[in-house]
Amino acid sequence: MEFLNGVAKHVGKDVAEEQYRLYTSSRFIFIEKESEADWERARELFFKYRDQKGIDLFDSLAFAIMQRLGIKFTFDSDFAVHGFVMVP
């Protein structure tokens, strides 16, 4: 959903709505739902890395979900602090 916020802020909600419809109807994209355990882990991570001003609670939620799913790479350099490998 963070993606949609960015699209809405930069090019408008009409485009964000179109993008939402495209990826929610895709056979190739799966949207993972967060669990209460993911939120608990996210809060732990958020407060653990107090010195990382660029990392917000929703980034921490993404970290928690990625850890649960065993995802080891990222395209976001902020995620490297949590041990994810940055790929171009």
Q: Indicate the domain borders of the chain.
A: 1-31, 36-86
DSSP at 49: T
pTM of the model: 0.75
Q: What percent of the chain has pLDDT over 90?
A: 58
Query: How far apart are the C-alpha atoms of 20 and 79, rounded to whole Å?
Result: 24
Nearest to 36 by CA among 14, 8, 68: 68
Report whether pLDDT(78) > 80. Answer: no
Predicted local distance difference test score (pLDDT) of residue 28: 94
